[in-house]
A = this chain, B = another copy of it.
Amino acid sequence: MGGDFAPVETVAGAVLAARETDVAVLLVGDPNPLQEQLDAHPGAADLPISVAPSMGVVGEGEQPARALRQKPNASIFVATKLVKEGRAGACVSMGSTGATMAAAAVILGMMEGLERPCLGGPIVGLAPRTIIIDVGTNVDCKPAQLLSFAIIGEVFANQFWHIDRPKVALLSVGSETGKGNKQVRETTELLQASGLNFVGNVEGDDLPAGIVDVVVCDGFAGNVVMKLTEGIGVSLIEHLANAVNGQVTPEAMNLIKGEILKTTNPAQDLGGGPLLGVNGVSIIGHGRADSVEVANAIATAKLALDLGFIERLTERLATVRAVVEIESES
């Protein structure tokens, strides 16, 4: 029920996914509008799609923790419970990111050593094979949290992009190892002891160049990076339209605009990414997703399950932490 174009596009995406891939879909929401949308798709009755009833939706502006108390049967909470109870393999939502995160944290629970779910991905579209993590709500991170982000990023790059020994770097303000603020200096020690393929610091201008596979940062810096990248794209397109007015053909301008938008606002191209650090697959989709993006998000959920992403990550978090502890004791 969440997302800007629900239930029309979410149901259409579910139909697309069930038709084209080997998935069964539980549509969680108000049964009447969902059934109405389903009936609009010829042949949908023969697909493995069923409706799981819920009551209400958590809106974008709502405080997630309060919504969890006041609307425990809202669609995102019911959907997440279905995963917890093993009745669904994964949850996919185009709705409020905050509510999806709260539901996952409370209902699925956090992996050991993590305080809040993380968000990460190739947010600087010019580097489509660099995951930057955290870009979400983890601020004032302790070094142990940043170590966890590094492990999550490593497993992500390894599993989704088939990179054997992903290069892991810390975002900082100087390229020399250890240069930066207190958080960076302390985290450097942990990463050096971790056995991860830690290659040192990267700076802001290294991010779009894609020179490493995983960039670890506090959610404060990561969020600034994500939003600044988006903002530069949007403002640059506006600026170019005025600055080269009449000197570039409309066709060329459209082509260039499209490339700028694609490389600075990559979320618009992706169906969604997994919420990281929670005990289960929960895919955060894009609020403005159309049916194709919804189907892509469902495919990402299936891929995460097929890869055993959660199991692999849980195992790797424990292994690396054990290595760091042994190193720090010796």
Interface, chain A (partner B; CB < 8 A): 124, 126-127, 137, 139-140, 171-173, 180-182, 203-209, 218-221, 223-232, 234-236, 239-240, 243-244, 247-249, 251-252, 255-256, 259-260, 263-264
- In the complex, chain B residues whose CB is within 8 Å of the CB of A260: 236, 240
- In the complex, chain B residues whose CB is within 8 Å of the CB of A137: 173
Asked if A231 meets B208 with Cβ closer than 8 Å, knowing A181-B139, A221-B220, the reply is yes
- In the complex, chain B residues whose CB is within 8 Å of the CB of A247: 251-252, 255
Q: How many copies does the complex hold?
A: 2
Complex Cα distance, B253 from A249, in Å, reads: 11
B224 touches A203 (CB 8 A): yes
A263 touches B239 (CB 8 A): yes
B205 touches A227 (CB 8 A): yes
Complex Cα distance, B227 from A173, in Å, reads: 9
Task: Supply 6 A–B pairs (Cβ within 8 Å), ascending by A.
Answer: A203-B223, A203-B227, A209-B235, A224-B225, A228-B228, A247-B252
Asked if A173 meets B228 with Cβ closer than 8 Å, knowing A239-B259, A256-B256, the reply is no
B224 touches A240 (CB 8 A): no
Residue of B nearest to A231 (CB): B205
- In the complex, chain B residues whose CB is within 8 Å of the CB of A251: 247
B171 touches A224 (CB 8 A): yes
Complex Cα distance, B250 from A248, in Å, reads: 10
- In the complex, chain B residues whose CB is within 8 Å of the CB of A244: 252, 255-256, 259
A232 touches B232 (CB 8 A): yes
Determine how close the nearest CB of chain B comes to the CB of A99; give it in whole angstroms: 16
Residue of B nearest to A224 (CB): B204
Our pick among B127, B235, B240, B248 for the contact of A248 (Cβ within 8 Å) is B248
- In the complex, chain B residues whose CB is within 8 Å of the CB of A180: 139, 220
A205 touches B223 (CB 8 A): no
- In the complex, chain B residues whose CB is within 8 Å of the CB of A236: 126, 208, 236, 260, 263-264
- In the complex, chain B residues whose CB is within 8 Å of the CB of A232: 124, 126, 208, 229, 232, 264
A228 touches B207 (CB 8 A): yes
